[in-house]
Amino acid sequence: MKIISGNEYFNELRASGGSQQSYADLDDVVLNIIQEIKQNGDAALRSYTEKFDQTNIQAIKVSTEEIEEAESKVSETFIQAIKKAYEHIYKFHANQVEKSWFYNEEGVMLGQKVTPIESVGIYVPGGTAAYPSTVLMNAVPASIAGVKNIAMTTPPQKDGTINPHVLVAAKVAGIQTIYKAGGAQAIAALAYGTETVQKVAKIVGPGNAFVACAKKWVFGEVAIDMIAGPSEICVVADESANPSYVAADLLSQAEHDERATAICVTHDKTVAEQIKDEVNRQKSKLKREEIINQSLADYGRIVVTESLEQSFAIVNEMAPEHLQLMIENALELVDKVEHAGAIFFGNYSPEALGDYIAGPNHTLPTSGTAKFSSPLGVYDFIKRSSIIHYSEQSLLNVADEIMTIANAEGLDGHSEAINIRMENKE
């Protein structure tokens, strides 16, 4: 993990123009998969599952018995942990509930009607790792919002089953409809429906590049949460930070993916050297060291800035998914942060805490999109309808203004819709 200057890293950020991927190299493959699912439904889904997941499945939908049996395959310790996580996530997201509102004023009633999205499909990645936490982070806010139909899709294991930890999390979250499907084919199935998979109104959840590309192409047919890129962390550290903690947090992010970004920003050169030494010492003990080494070589940096002000300038240019402020007076300095998905304060609030049990959502904007996006929340699972009611006199009071604007736009039909009411007033 190399140490570079703040100015050098600024140049890297600006040269990259943001790291949001275009996925253009995957478009042809993904579009062919989508078309095949649209044309051949379940048969295509089974074929792609055999091709990409190396397993044959007959029943695409997970049975009630499989969900019930999952508890016997995991430890009681895990069950209790996932239930505690559920409680914390539920408590946090319950505060995000929006209500319909109305007000009346001299014959005018205006307002906003809040309605849950009717159906949502949750994508949960599989492959080399299982993500029961992702189940909760997506299902809990959808449930709180009042979504009636929540379905989940996740790649099967090579024996044709779903990871039992994922199934237990789904049971705790109250998900009863689960499909054995992954990749772009699962996204297409949720977007267009098959004989087994019911079409949904919105698709949420992270995935690999093929999943992200598929979400891009089905957007418009259905809504999506975001097109997520590789995971990111930025740690701002000073002499108050424990170098071993900083190193551990950087490594916890680098182990996600070879393309994960782990950045430490500090204005103290001694702290930078200590963190680098700790990274090298700790990484050899981790199971995913090969992935970590690739991630750190390509995207890991320890950035030595000229001042704390420059450190925050880098943070705001990067707009990281996860930001840890391991500095003195962090709470007092948080206003300097303009762009970040989630902000963690102090030595005892690691990013891993937010991933699993703190409560706030871990589905966060990546690739610089924190400059204009927010974490997944209850608000992502509702629709807002404007409410307008005018009495006759209230309409007449503004009729001239409406017709003036309509005529200025050359829309005489709009003007006449008002005029006809004026001519027929009671």
**Residues marked as catalytic:** 321-322
Q: What would the DSSP string read from start to end of 144-184?
A: HHT-SEEEEEEPPPTTSPPPHHHHHHHHHHT--EEEE--HH
Q: Do the beta carbons of residue 253 and residue 301 sit within 8 Å?
A: no
289-299 and 243-254 helices, crossing angle to 10° = 100
The pair of three-digit structure tokens given for residue 202, joined into one six-digit string? 């919105």
As a whole number of angstroms, the distance between CA 177 and CA 63 comes to: 9
As a whole number of angstroms, the distance between CA 375 and CA 378 comes to: 10
Question: Residues 6 or more apart from 400 whose CB is under 8 A from it?
Answer: none
Strand pairing report for 108-116 and 119-123: unpaired
As a whole number of angstroms, the distance between CA 321 and CA 372 comes to: 12
Bridge partners for 382 per DSSP: 116
Question: Residues 6 or more apart from 382 whose CB is under 8 A from it?
Answer: 98, 114, 115, 116, 117, 145, 146
Q: Do the beta carbons of residue 295 and residue 260 sit within 8 Å?
A: yes
**Dihedral, CA atoms, 167, 366, 209, 130, nearest 10 degrees?**
-20
Question: Residues 6 or more apart from 80 whose CB is under 8 A from it?
Answer: none
Burial class, 306, CB count within 10 angstroms (exposed 0-12 / middle 13-18 / buried 19+): exposed
Q: Is the dihedral of CA 390, 393, 395, 401 positive or negative?
A: negative
Q: What is the DSSP letter of 372?
A: T
As a whole number of angstroms, the distance between CA 178 and CA 104 comes to: 45
Residue with tokens 């996204």: 187
Q: What are phi and psi of 203, to 5 degrees?
A: -115, 130
